[in-house]
Amino acid sequence: MYTIGYYPGCSLTGSAKEFDKSLRKICDLLGIKLVEIEDWNCCGATSAHATNHLLSVSLPLLNIKKAYKQGITKILAPCAACYNRLVTAQYELTKNNLVKKELSEFLENDYNSIKVINIIEFFQEIIKEGILDKKVVSLKGLKVACYYGCLLLRPKEIIDFDDSEQPSSMEEIIKITDATPVDWNYKIECCGASHSIAHKDIVVDLIGKILGDAQKHSADIMVVACPMCHSNLDMRQLELRKNEGYKSIPIIYLTELIGLSLGLSPEELGINLHFIESRSVFEKYFSKVEVQL
Amino acid sequence: MKIGVFVCHCGENIGKTVDCPRAAQESAKIPGVVISVDNKYTCSDPGQNMIKNAIKEYNLDGVVVASCSPHMHEKTFRKAVASVGMNPYMCEIANIREQCSWVHDDVEEATKKAIDLIRIAVEKVKRNFALTPIKVPVTKRALVIGGGISGIQSALDIANAGYEVVLVEKEPSIGGHMSQLSETFPTLDCSQCILTPRMVEVYQHPKIKLLTYSEVEKVEGFIGNFKVTIKKKPRYVDETKCTGCGLCTQKCPIKKAPNEFEQGMIKRTAIYVPFPQAVPNIPVIDNTVCTYFRTGKCQMCVKVCGKEAIDFNQKERFVVEEVGAIIVATGYSLYKIDKKPKDSPIKGYGEYGYGIYPDVIDGLQFERLASASGPTAGEIKRPSDKKEPKKVVFIQCVGSRDESKGFSYCSKICCMYTAKHAMLYKHKVHDGEAYVFYMDIRSGGKMYEEFVRRAIEEDDVKYIRGRVSRIYEDGGKYIVKGEDTIAGIPVEIDADMVVLATAIVAQNDSKKLAQTIGIPYDKYGFLNEVHPKLRPVESSTAGVYLAGACQAPRDIPESVAMASAAASKALVLFGSDMLEREPTIAKVNESTCAGCFYCQKVCAYNAIEKKEIKDRNGNFVKYVAYVNPGLCQGCGTCNATCPSKSVELIGYTDEQIFAEINALATL
């Protein structure tokens, strides 16, 4: 049985709980065991590294330390921000002697043998190992814009699973669903991130450009792998919808798209929880299959 | 033994920190020293005369000059003592400047140390013996590797001085990158017009042996006496029979191979001449695409050739050439940003979409577009739809001066050629707009700054200081997003075409070639000179010289100047029949040498050979190590390695070194 450590982080228990839900469903279906890190704590996110550098490194490392004590050798961190913090902390530990010195007592060990992977790497791996090889529903004809955002691919000194400026790994993965990835220009542009709270207008402007370009390249749907991007693109799209004649585009998680092709229902995957409904898009492609929307 | 000690103040350089008169007084007490004096500037004429007079007056056997590093003036003082009949190797330097006064502050301590250093040198001189330089013959013939403008210039200079030259070029034609250029900065004269006559001159020169489509395979020997093995790759066309009529290239049915000379922008045939002005004008068959080599059929070229020059059975051939000097002029290549090389620190520039967007091109591709002999006959048309671009963006420093994605060095020529490109574009497309994104404009050179100003002021090229973060296609336009760091605002330009000034990089096989020849290279693969200022065209291997962009990014005038300098270095060598070399080399004691050849393994100059020892009846006794005096550089590594202490470095024998150490230890 394929077993992997699991670090959900706060988003996947709150605003992105459908990300968590769909991932767990897929894993159940494919016989993958997710071992959640016991008593996991906050990764520190933006707040920690805006406050204190050492804190921003030690919070993620504390999680890795907990995983180590549980016997976990590989951690899946689906949230792009968590993933970024975890691998950055590991990198700092090898490259920054000051950090190493400061944390040596607390760490007790070198945790760089523990590999932290993101959701794309997770799918790459289970496809390579033949665990994800079947599909029940062909999504042939569905045009998908894959959106990476910033945290998954950067900085390139630390994260090197794909070209940080011209990525293609998500496109490769969605090919197994028969869906067609579209060629578009805004896959790594900024979504505005946490400006969503204080400067909503900036985010609305940015996502307007992102969504506009996806639609210009005739995407039916956008697939994301980051809770922050999802909430901005999905929730703030409501603002754009106020404009007359605006045609909305559903934003779903990569796990949800894979789940659909595995025959899971949108409800099981939590797709019904998004702000922008996807009924119309899926009805068009799922008329032959019984899908409850 | 009578030894004289001369302590130099070097003005304030030594005198400020070392009490020179006291050092001289103390040195006079060392046994064997008969005269010890100090002097303000010993290297000056009066200073040297003082030494000469002392040698005569006191009948000295040895001299110690306590002064600067031996790298600086050892030769000067040895020459001075030799002029009054003393063997130059009886003069030693005690380095009390670089290794004493410059690195210490305390006068008392520094003076003590200076006296110690003098004592050491005196003990060594006591054990010195007269040495005479080694003489080796010189083969007055040169090898030039690379047939670009640098190699051509070097070859012509040497040949015109009356010496034979072997010019090796790996491509089917000489000409190099310069033959691909349209016009040249800062005068805008046509590159081909000034280059092709030189190419023909090389071809017709009675003293130049031209080997195209050939590569250097092996280099043996040493300065004045190199033996070079050159691989001639099969052209499949007999060079002696072919007249260059061109019928075979017209009739060849394979017309889809990418044309390397045109930077892949058009196609060529399987049998081809790289470009119309190629020298020699003899075609070559590309056996990776030729139908005959792939299927055994076709032979169209054989049918149309009236001279029976096609020879599918040609094989690689090896020729051996004996030369006295080697000039390496292998040039550069351009950083290709379309593919991120695997296992490389280079991260690529995916955000510029080169290799994805047909109208995002590099500098050499633009040269071909602007060239009258290029694929568009000199009209600026973008590759995708052959339309005239009305807005062109030029981006400088793509890969250069970019530690995070490319290389930390400056490629040097891009500021100038980008100004030229923008200018050429404006001259051809009058209603067009040209934008240049730059970091700094580096236009050092005669008429260079004026040239850039002309582009800005007369040709209205818009220079924007800042980097470009992304290029993407939108409705047939290329949206260039960047930053104007002077205005402090983001910029977006909807361009029809983008030209990237990608970095100049070393040839991909430059490291291999450097290893073959035995010369050092830097971390980028550029070949290293011995001294960046005073010996810029010499490699650290005697007799091997460097010319052009194989050493660092260079423009044409610099490459030509370097090429002539390298040629003159070779000619200096050819000026004498015998070569004098330092006698301070390793020597093997054959009676104790056990033949383990550890010395051979550690020798960096391939100077150790196997020698057979026979008894008086001619029976084999054993193998011993033999030091080739022509190759040995006297580094002493073998000396330190030898387990049986059978290698000695002449002039630095164990006895001499131990005496120096003892001089310190017995204090």
**pLDDT tens profile A235-290:** 999 999 999 889 999 999 999 999 999 988 888 999 989 999 887 787 766 655 55
B356 CB neighbours in chain A (<8 A) are: 166
What pLDDT, on the 0 to 100 scale, is given for residue B347? 61
Given this model, what pLDDT does residue A293 score? 46
On whether the CB atoms of residues B19 and B111 are closer than 8 A, the answer is yes
> Measured between CA atoms, how close is B471 to chain A, in angstroms?
9
Could you tell me which chain B residue has the CA closest to the CA of A212?
A: B474
d(CA B219, CA B322): 10
Determine the residue of chain B that is closest to A160 in CA distance.
B347
Cα–Cα distance for residue pair B43/B437, rounded to 1 Å: 53
Range A135-157 average pLDDT? 90
- pLDDT of res. A284: 67
Closest CA to B289 of B250, B254, B313, B249: B254
Contact state of B348 with A165 under an 8 Å Cβ cutoff: yes
B337 versus A54: the higher-pLDDT residue is: A54
Interface test with A, best of B342, B344, B347 (most A CBs within 10 A): B347
Distances from the Cα of A168 to the Cαs of A16, A163, A171, B259, B493, in angstroms?
24, 8, 5, 30, 26
- A188/chain B closest Cα distance in angstroms: 10
Q: How far is B468 from chain A (nearest CA, A)?
A: 13
What's the average model confidence in pLDDT over A167-183? Answer: 93
Strand B477-484, strand B489-495: pairing: antiparallel
Of A157, A166, A216, the CB nearest to B351: A166
Query: Could you state, in chain order, the average pLDDT of each consecutive group of 10 residues for chain B (667 residues)?
Result: 96 95 96 96 95 96 96 93 96 96 96 96 95 92 98 98 98 97 95 96 97 96 93 95 94 94 94 95 95 93 93 95 98 81 64 89 96 94 96 96 90 97 97 97 96 97 96 93 96 97 94 94 95 92 95 97 98 93 92 94 90 93 92 91 94 93 82
Beta bridge partners of residue B478, listed in sequence order: B473, B495
Q: Tell me if chain A has a CB within 8 Å of the CB of B473.
A: yes
Q: Which of B499, B497, B180 is nearest to B362 (CA)?
A: B499
CB contact under 8 Å between A166 and B472, yes or no, is no
Measured between alpha carbons, how far is B648 from B654 in angstroms, rounded to an integer?
A: 7
Query: Per-residue pLDDT for A1 more than 90?
Result: no
User: Of the candidates A157, A163, A185, which has its C-beta nearest B350's C-beta?
Assistant: A163
Res. A55 pLDDT band, cuts 50 70 90: very high
Q: Determine, for residues B349 and A156 on separate chains, whether the beta-carbon distance falls below 8 Å.
A: no
Q: Is B348 on the interface with A (CB under 8 A)?
A: yes
Touching check for B353 and chain A: CB below 8 Å? Answer: yes
Assigned token pair, B20: 């020179």
Q: Which two tokens stand for residue B601?
A: 């393994």
Residue of A157, A165, A185 lying closest to B474 (CB–CB): A185
Chain B hits for A164, Cβ within 8 Å: 347, 350
Interface contact B350, partner A, CB < 8 A: yes
State whether residue B472 sits within 8 Å of chain A by CB. yes
The confidence band for A230, taking pLDDT boundaries of 50, 70 and 90, is: very high
Q: Is the CB of residue A166 less than 8 Å away from at least one CB of chain B?
A: yes
Comparing CA positions, the residue from B427, B351, B435, B428 lying closest to residue B391 is B435
- For A188, nearest residue in chain B (alpha carbons): B351
If one compares A163 and B389, the residue with the highest pLDDT of the two is B389
CB neighbours of B323 closer than 8 A, spacing ≥ 6? B139, B141, B142, B143, B166, B226, B228
pLDDT score of A292:
47
Per-residue pLDDT at B344 = 55
CA angle B147, B148, B150 (to 5 degrees): 100
Cβ of A163 within 8 Å of Cβ of B353? The answer is: no
The helix-helix angle for B448-457 and B414-428 (nearest 10°) equals: 40
Q: Do the beta carbons of residue A23 and residue A227 sit within 8 Å?
A: no
Q: Which residues of B touch A216 (CB under 8 A)?
A: 474
Confidence at residue B557, expressed as pLDDT on a 0 to 100 scale: 96
ipTM above threshold 0.85: no
